[in-house]
Amino acid sequence: MRKYSILLILFTLLCLVCFPAEKYVWKNVTIGGGGYVTGIIACPTEKNLFYAKTDVGGAYRWNEEQQCWIPLTDWVSKGEMGYLGVESIAIDPQNPNRVYMSAGLEYYPATKPAIFYSEDYGGTFNKTVVPFMVHGNGYGRGVGERLIVDPNNSNVLFCGTRKDGLWKSSDMARTWTKVSSFPISETDNGNGICAIAIDPSSSSKGSTSKTIFVGVSQMGTSNLFVSVDAGETWNPVEGQDSTFAPQRMVITPNGYLIITYANGAGPHSNKVEPLSTGALFKYNIQDKSWLDITPSRATKAPLSGVSFQQNNPDILMVSSTNTWWAQDWAPSKTVKGDEIYRSTDGGITWTSLFGKKKTKLDVGEFEWGNPSLSPDPVSLHWATCITLDPFNSNRAFVNSGNGIFMCDNLNNSITNWKFQVRGLEETVPLGIVSPAGGASLLSIIGDYDGFRHNDLAKSPAQGRHNPRIGTNRAIDFAENDPRIVVRAGSSAFISKDNAKTWESLIPPFPEAKDGNLAISPDGKTIVWCPENSPIYTTSNYRNWAQSDGAKPSQRVISDRVNSSRFYFFDNKTLYFSNNRGTTFAKGSTNPSLTSVRKIRSSPAIEGDIWIPSADNGLFRTTWMNNLPVFTKIDKVAKCEAVGFGKAKSGKKFPAVYIWGVVDGVEGIFRSDDEGKNWVRLNDDTHEFGGTGDANEIIGDPRVYGRVYMSTAGRGIVYGDLVGGKDSKIVIDSEDYSGIKKAK
């Protein structure tokens, strides 16, 4: 009995660690889109079944009832971060519940490339690690699809690769074999096999299809191959024009292969192949004849997206890519992007939808992109994929560099396009802060500056931070006066109204940009470490002076209590300034402090610095003889990020949040007793790929239990304690009561 009692105790303790002791609900901080959706895949045999894939934000499934996108890959762990790069998605038309996904990112080699398979519409996945490269964020990621299920034989799949030729599975993706007879393994541009199409009429249901077309991303030589014996032998398609490289292709029920072409691999230009021209061809599979059906306005444009109406294949839609033409639906001629063409006669004649005021745009709830409110609204660009609804001739989806657009009145003379990104979040956060007064959250992100979030469930009506510079690298606020906020990217700015408006911080030299900055609790001192330049400090935000002892691009933080103190960490050593950044002194060194992420200063105690080590856990400082002493926090074996939030009722010290490994389990944890005990807040279905490059995890100072986290490409996520007495607090964005007074 003793043996089993001990085992029971151990099992109980393990459960307490491995499973959340508190129930959390996880959501996105709503922005809406913000990243490149590389494709939209429709099921030809089940109504309203669509999937979307992204280059760094995972995969989604369309929910018709709620008119939103459901994320399918939030189970991706930190170690699996590369699976947020989805290269291709394939649906089994005979079993629509069965969906496949190839995923991986070349620059995350720790994530082995894999083909995933699901029997429940992507609700759960199993995987097969494959021996070839998959790169969802690689050059030419807008082409496709590279992965396809034989429409007649559900056991058979083909997968085209960038560098390893063509592969085949005969057991529903469980195992893969290279098709050695295919003549091309790789191309000079690294994009390889870019598209596959299988002719359903070449066999009957239950038998393997005979006719398969494969497009290869090369020009000046054969780039379209066909097999008429189920992939045993291959030949170049006769009569092909190899002036351009194929992008996407479809086979219509009336026997045509339709292919879009461009002089490179979409969606954008590179130095080798500046994407600028293209064509559209129609190939009669039976008589092997070709017809150039390029829309007249697009004669010199790269074309990519192509789709047909299932019940009437003479209805075709095609999209350009990497064209920057004025989009006439926008009130400003500065809004430029791609064009969409529609034909109702098989490509003989075409209508340009974005020309001559034939289209209107509705951004709906995503006011940050509203062309009537924003000086820089969303544009429909990088439109490498357009997908007609197989069951609704009025509806089509088109991808974009900022999300997805949808139209549901294509048969009208004036079409209305909606920015249809509800539920789809693909920004890359680079910094987040949650002040004790003002907005709930302030963010900076890649490409789109960042936002002031008053309501976490609504897209910021104010729009992006303005002036706009694209990518911002650093943000901070004055602890004692959250009205004062600073940010930096290619330029630096200060706000005196909690990020509503911004004014420039004029540096003493024009090349000052990026790097990191911090502001003192009283808001009077800014320390900035620009890129490739010495560190500077300022008073009154105008007069800059060199600061001795710090380094370019160094992450610097302020003490959250004492306005004279600043810190940075470098080479296992904590450096500090006691004179508002004028000079920095070298503090103590600890050999265990390796792979240190963003250090944090606690808002409760002067000099209380918490140091996350991805190798060795979490440390905090005390001070002796004006030097820091490092104490390791027990139970935390590894730590990627640390932050603070509102203290639990009855506690004085703030709640501490981490992404780390506690007692052998990795995830998001909270401690209410300064790190003595920890509770896991997320579960294995809510890992979001970890904290990404930003390594941000912070609590909310006004809502106990609320935690915010950066991701690698799924935007900003946050968790709320279910049933927590603070979870329903409505934050007044102009409430600055309770802010501690400056010392």
Residues recognised as catalytic: 55, 447
* Cα–Cα separations (whole angstroms), residue 680 to 379, 656, 671, 683: 41, 12, 9, 8
Q: Is 85 in contact with 135 (CB distance < 8 Å)?
A: yes
DSSP classification of residue 12: H
Q: Is 431 in contact with 337 (CB distance < 8 Å)?
A: no
Which residues touch 551 (CB under 8 Å, ≥6 apart)? 529, 535, 568, 570
Cα 262 from chain centroid (whole Å): 26
Q: Is 401 in contact with 382 (CB distance < 8 Å)?
A: yes
DSSP string, 595-648: SB---EE-SSSTT-EEEEETTTEEEEEEEETTEEEEEEPTTEEEEEEEEEEPPP
Distance CA 653, CA 672 (A): 8
Query: Exposed, middle or buried, 265 (CB in 10 Å: 0-12/13-18/19+)?
Result: buried
Cα 323 from chain centroid (whole Å): 23
Cα 635 from chain centroid (whole Å): 32
Distance CA 253, CA 640 (A): 53
Distance CA 204, CA 414 (A): 41
Type of residue at 98: R
Q: Report the candidate in 342, 319, 337, 327 with the shortest Cα–Cα distance to residue 409.
A: 342
Q: Report the candidate in 262, 229, 252 with the shortest Cα–Cα distance to residue 315.
A: 252
DSSP string, 487-527: EEESSEEEESSTTSS-EE---SSTT--SSEEEE-TTS-EEE
Cα 6 from chain centroid (whole Å): 46
Distance CA 147, CA 160 (A): 6
